[in-house]
Amino acid sequence: MIFMMTAGNINVSRAEGFAVDMELILAVDCSYSVSDAEYQLQMNGLARAIRSSAVNIAIQAGHYKKISIALIQWSGTNNQIVSVPWTAIGSSNSIATLSERIRKLPRHVALGPTSISAVIAKSLHMFSNTPYRSYRKVLDISGDGRNNDGVPAHFLRDVAIKKGITVNGLAIINETPTLHHYFRNAVIGGQGSFVIKANSYEAYEYAIQKKLVREIAPLPIVQNTL
């Protein structure tokens, strides 16, 4: 049996996989510029944000009340590690389990330059090999620097857009005050894309929670007049 869900003019078939409201990749910067203390601030902040009531409310507002999440740690062109493979969350237990898993994640990626383009390429491969199906695929990139390794970021960003993937950014501007402008021009793209800035790693938790709520909340339903 094939079950079709319509959101606007986009259809999803459950026959092709496990249906969720969205597929979300969290890409966490682990390049040279990120100290161990700053890495831990990202993990702790992300773990608490996922467990927050605001994020839970956003998940429960969806049709299936469930999303799938994966997490990539990244630095240079040859350093992208999937630290959390695709995982569906929706119930309180599943959210708490994922939150604790993220909080305890060691730093898997070797220090290296900043290749936003490479983590987008890695994410494209992951989206094409997910066991889940949804009408929204979102890549959430957090970082504190510009792409300085591999091809320019906008080349891969444009490929993602053509595949129907939204790329959002969280610019940590502690070292580069104008980084959010770079993210806006060269990194983000796709339906409803946006960038949020955090003034420091200490401000990361608030920024990532705000970002997750905005990403996860269901898109407005567009009436089909055909």
**Mind listing the pLDDT tens digit for each residue in 149-196?**
999 999 999 999 999 999 999 999 999 999 999 999 999 999 999 999
Least confident of 11-20, 24-33, 173-182: 11-20
Cα distance from N-terminal residue to C-terminal residue, the chain: 26
User: Nearest Cα to 25, choosing from 204, 168, 191?
Assistant: 168
What is the rounded CA–CA span in Å between residue 207 and residue 214?
Answer: 11
Position 104 pLDDT exceeds 90:
yes
Q: 17 versus 121: which is more confidently predicted?
A: 121
155 CB-near residues (< 8 Å, 6+ apart): 117
Cβ-Cβ contacts under 8 Å for 62 (sequence gap 6 or more): 21, 22, 216, 218
Tokens read off for 5: 């869900």
Q: Are 84 and 99 in contact (CB under 8 A)?
A: no
Domain 19-216 listed as CATH 1.20.1440.230: no
Report the pLDDT value the prediction gives residue 5, as an integer from 0 to 100.
Answer: 37
Distance, CA of 1 to CA of 72 (rounded, Å): 34
Question: What pLDDT is attached to residue 8?
Answer: 37
Tokens read off for 175 = 């070292």
Alpha helices, H only, 104-172: 116-127, 153-162
Mean pLDDT confidence for 33-52: 97
- From the list 73, 77, 72, the residue with the least C-alpha distance to 149 is 77
**What was the pLDDT predicted at 110?**
86
* Dihedral class, residue 196 (left if φ above 0, else alpha if ψ from -120 to 50, else beta): beta
pLDDT of 218 reads 86
Q: Parse the chain into domains and list their residue ranges.
A: 19-216
Using pLDDT thresholds of 50, 70 and 90, give the confidence band for residue 68.
very high
In this prediction, residues 72-89 reach a mean pLDDT of: 97
Residue 162 CB partners (closer than 8 Å, separation 6+): none
Tell me if the pTM is above 0.85.
Answer: yes
DSSP 8-state code for residue 189:
B
Query: Cβ contacts of residue 223 below 8 Å, gap of 6+?
Result: none
